[in-house]
Amino acid sequence: MVMATKSKILCVDDTPTNLKLLIDLLSDLYEVKIATNGVQALEILESYQADLVLLDIMMPEMDGYETCQHIRNNLKTKDIPILFITAKNQPEDEEKGLRIGGNDFISKPINPGVLYARIETQIKLHEAQKSLQAHNEDLEEQVKQRIGEVLRLQDSSIYVMVSLAEFRDENTGNHIRRTQYYVETLAKAAANTALFRPYLSDKNIEVITKSAPLHDIGKIAIPDPILLKPGKLTDEEFTVMKTHAEKGYQILKQASRSMGESGQVLEVAQQIALSHHEKWDGSGYPNGLVGEAIPLAARLMALADVYDALTSARPYKRAFSAEEAFEIIEQGRDSHFQPELVDLFLQLKSQLQQIALEHPDPQVE
């Protein structure tokens, strides 16, 4: 048969007769340890896991009030129940003790029945608090695990959707990667400016970066003869191609509904898919948004997307040099793109060119 472990009580009093009385009263029921002053009590509590402290108030050098404050200020001991045992039984004494962290008062001379009842009450309360805390920590861990599962599912869904876009058009693979890194680089630079700092926390940048690869997901709904046409599109074909923005938005919106609590990534991805072809002056598509009505994530994506399109070779066009592309983007300042973002983009030339070098398009044999 397993014997129940006795609760541990630290008795603190500078009077030997008082300590002897407490030992006589409590030692049959509890594991009792004694200290003759506040300093000694604090030293003992560094290694002794007491379940309750019985604390005299009137002691030399460090009185019970100060000892109580030290106990409460120590992370290891801050939750231990403290019962003051004292002849100081005026209302203001009790009020002070409770205010600085005492749990209860027992007046001298000690009534054994009151002592037992109050010790038992405080120990039970403390055990209940520890149990509740452990339960809360367990729930917290379960919530963290669940959130992790949802995020992994979300990341997997994004990966599948991006893979679909790559499968439909073999030219898009490294375009997707380059534009993602361009967006991340530009967003981090923008976050260092007063204008954009309020909107670009580290978390927001992470979400935008994760969302960026989905900007052209709507192209999976464009017919092959148009999507894969090796030459320049006719006006009618281009009208169909432009629908990829709205189609991408609808695909991501449906995905968001299906996943329930989808989080920010799919929400921002919807903004980017729908609005990355909008222009600062309102001449873009599909909704002709003007200026800051265009979501910031889409404004960032627009610069990355155009720069990569300019510097990439396609069957119907040559690749512009980086300098030519930067000149064209500068010409679009205040018309196609937000002026402040263009200025930042141009300051990042070397970083953007390095990204392009690290993620080139595959060579066609």
Question: pLDDT at position 120, please?
Answer: 93
C-alpha dihedral sign at 306, 312, 318, 323:
positive
Dist CA 51 CA 43 (whole Å) = 16
Which DSSP category does 333 fall into? B
Dist CA 22 CA 18 (whole Å) = 6
The residues spanned by each domain of the chain are 8-138, 169-358
Place of tokens 């265009």: 294
Q: Are strands 104-107 and 82-86 parallel, antiparallel or unpaired?
A: parallel
Backbone phi and psi for residue 264, each to the nearest 5 degrees, phi listed first: -75, -30
Dist CA 178 CA 280 (whole Å) = 23
Fold of domain 8-138: Rossmann fold (3.40.50)
| Neighbour count for residue 55 (Cβ, 10 Å) | 26
The answer for residues whose C-beta is within 8 angstroms of residue 163's C-beta and 6 or more apart is: none
Q: How far is CA 224 from the centre of its chain?
A: 41
The answer for residues whose C-beta is within 8 angstroms of residue 34's C-beta and 6 or more apart is: 10, 11, 12, 13, 19, 22, 23
Residue type, 20: K
Angle ∠(284,289,293) on CA atoms, nearest 5: 140
**Architecture field, domain 169-358:** Orthogonal Bundle (1.10)
**Mean pLDDT, each 10-residue run in order, the chain (365 residues):** 75 93 93 94 94 92 93 93 86 86 89 92 89 83 70 65 63 79 97 96 95 90 87 92 95 79 79 97 97 98 96 83 96 97 97 94 62
Cα→Cα distances 336→128, 138, 187, 281, Å: 63, 52, 18, 6
The answer for residues whose C-beta is within 8 angstroms of residue 361's C-beta and 6 or more apart is: 171, 174, 175, 312, 313
Dist CA 306 CA 335 (whole Å) = 14
Question: pLDDT at position 259, please?
Answer: 65
Cα→Cα distances 247→84, 163, 304, 345, Å: 71, 17, 21, 29
Cα→Cα distances 90→93, 96, 112, Å: 5, 10, 21
Which structure tokens are listed for 248? 């991408």
Question: pLDDT at position 227, please?
Answer: 86
Residue type, 166: E
Question: pLDDT at position 2, please?
Answer: 43
The answer for residues whose C-beta is within 8 angstroms of residue 336's C-beta and 6 or more apart is: 279, 280, 281, 284, 302, 306, 329
106-112: Cβ within 8 A, 24+ apart = 106/54, 108/18, 110/21, 110/22, 110/25, 110/85, 112/25
| E strands in 45-192 | 52-56, 82-86, 104-107
Which structure tokens are listed for 359? 């993620």
Question: pLDDT at position 365, please?
Answer: 45
Dist CA 243 CA 163 (whole Å) = 20
